[in-house]
């Protein structure tokens, strides 16, 4: 039987060669001396290795839409022409050197109240002080994430500006040659902060009921959809559950996904968590796949699953049984940047190898 994982997926005019994709993974490796938020050789190597390894679609790490939206001072951005030029070089490499006809997308993000933090391998935690290169953060209210500096509550002008910043970053992504764009609305970052009732206690039109709390995310969807080509697919990453009482649940996420699809989102990338520190996540292999399955079924929108998806048999089962249309992998890809070549072999499916690696094509065992 042919492998379901290695069948193509058509999203608008974009033909993705198969359904095994690379999840966005922040590298915290943009060095200020070579340009704020500018991707460099590390990012070329990191993302390029997955293309050589047979990935069907690679999603960039979260690229901030403005300087204050960076998670840390070492995060990438897409708010300057210099940053766009850095990304263009990486996009070109992926397109020219993929084992399959590899595609690459830009994830656009704003960290909101979780911005201006120390990177994971810095040896420190919490917010970076302004005196150490940090900055004042913003959010829906002045409530801080646990252990972080309190943000400023965003004004109407602030909100209008961040919507414009998402659109401008999407425009730069198109100019840099990306094949698709993903809006990051998950993991407790700005759009999710507005969505979650555990964070957003505003009483104006950007808060209140579910429609008000979803308004910023959907307004960003409208703004981005307007500036990217009609032929280009638009993806949206969401946290399907806050894993905390009174927070976003999967039923609310179904309603959000349905509304996003009506506004031109072509696939929902289904993750979870990140809104609050007191979340209680039940972690197990494939623990978020059920969210992707329910949103696909009840919202009638294509989905991608993510989260502790590691083995070829596991992800083949998810796609073959229609639980999700594609699978994003992160840690498994870091452990084995050629995961897709090995997976194809284990599933009895042939995919191309780059010419430089032809001598390693398995004949009697991987």
189 classed as catalytic: yes
In 3-state terms, what secondary structure has residue 329? Answer: strand
Name the strand (E) or helix (H) holding 340.
Answer: helix 339-346
CA–CA separation, 117 and 148 (whole Å): 8
Closest CA to 132 of 147, 149, 152, 154: 149
CB 236 within 8 A of CB 244: no
Contact between residue 184 and residue 107 where contact means Cβ atoms under 8 Å apart:
yes
CA 192 centroid distance within chain: 13
Q: How far is CA 31 from CA 37, 41, 61, 78, 351, in A?
A: 7, 11, 15, 15, 36
Contact 115, 75 (CB under 8 A): no
Query: What angle in degrees, to the nearest 10, is found between the helix axes of 339-346 and 312-320?
Result: 70
Long-range contacts of 310-314 (CB under 8 A, 24+ apart): 310/285, 312/5, 312/342, 312/343, 312/346, 312/347, 313/346, 313/347, 314/285, 314/286
Residue with tokens 């100019």: 175
**Active-site hit among 79, 189, 287, 345:** 189
Q: What is the sign of the dihedral through the CA atoms of 214, 216, 222 and 224?
A: negative
Active site (catalytic) residues: 189
């Amino acid at each position: 039987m042919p492998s379901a994982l290695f069948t193509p997926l058509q999203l608008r005019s974009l033909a993705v060669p198969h359904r095994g994709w690379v999840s966005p993974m922040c590298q915290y490796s943009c060095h200020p001396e070579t340009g704020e938020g500018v991707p460099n050789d590390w990012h070329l190597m990191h993302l390029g290795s997955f293309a050589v390894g047979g990935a069907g679609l690679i999603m960039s790490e979260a690229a901030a839409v403005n300087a204050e939206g960076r998670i840390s001072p070492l995060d990438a951005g897409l708010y300057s022409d210099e940053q766009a030029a850095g990304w263009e070089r990486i996009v070109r490499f992926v397109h020219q050197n993929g084992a399959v006809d590899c595609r690459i997308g830009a994830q656009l993000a704003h960290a909101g109240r979780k911005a201006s933090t120390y990177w994971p391998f810095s040896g420190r935690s919490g917010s970076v002080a302004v005196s150490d290169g940090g900055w004042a953060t913003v959010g829906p209210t002045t409530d801080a994430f646990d252990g972080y500096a309190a943000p400023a509550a965003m004004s109407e002008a602030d909100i209008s500006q961040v919507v414009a910043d998402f659109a401008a970053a999407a425009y730069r992504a198109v100019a840099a040659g990306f094949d698709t764009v993903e809006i990051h609305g998950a993991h407790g970052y700005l759009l999710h902060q507005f969505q979650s009732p555990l964070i957003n206690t505003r009483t104006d039109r950007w808060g209140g009921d579910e429609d008000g709390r979803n308004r910023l995310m959907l307004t960003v969807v409208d703004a981005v959809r307007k500036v990217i080509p009609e032929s280009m697919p638009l993806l949206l990453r969401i946290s399907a559950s806050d894993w905390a009482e009174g927070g976003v649940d999967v039923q609310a996420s179904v309603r959000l996904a349905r509304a996003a699809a009506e506004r031109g989102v072509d696939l929902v990338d289904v993750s979870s968590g990140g809104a609050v520190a007191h979340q209680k996540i039940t972690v197990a292999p494939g623990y978020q796949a059920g969210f992707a399955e329910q949103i696909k079924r009840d919202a009638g929108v294509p989905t991608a699953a993510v989260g502790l998806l590691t083995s070829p048999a596991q992800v083949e089962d998810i796609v073959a049984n229609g639980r999700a249309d594609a699978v994003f992998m992160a840690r498994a890809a870091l452990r084995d940047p050629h995961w897709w070549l090995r997976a194809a072999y284990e599933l009895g499916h042939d995919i191309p190898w780059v010419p430089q690696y032809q001598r390693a094509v398995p004949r009697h065992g991987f």
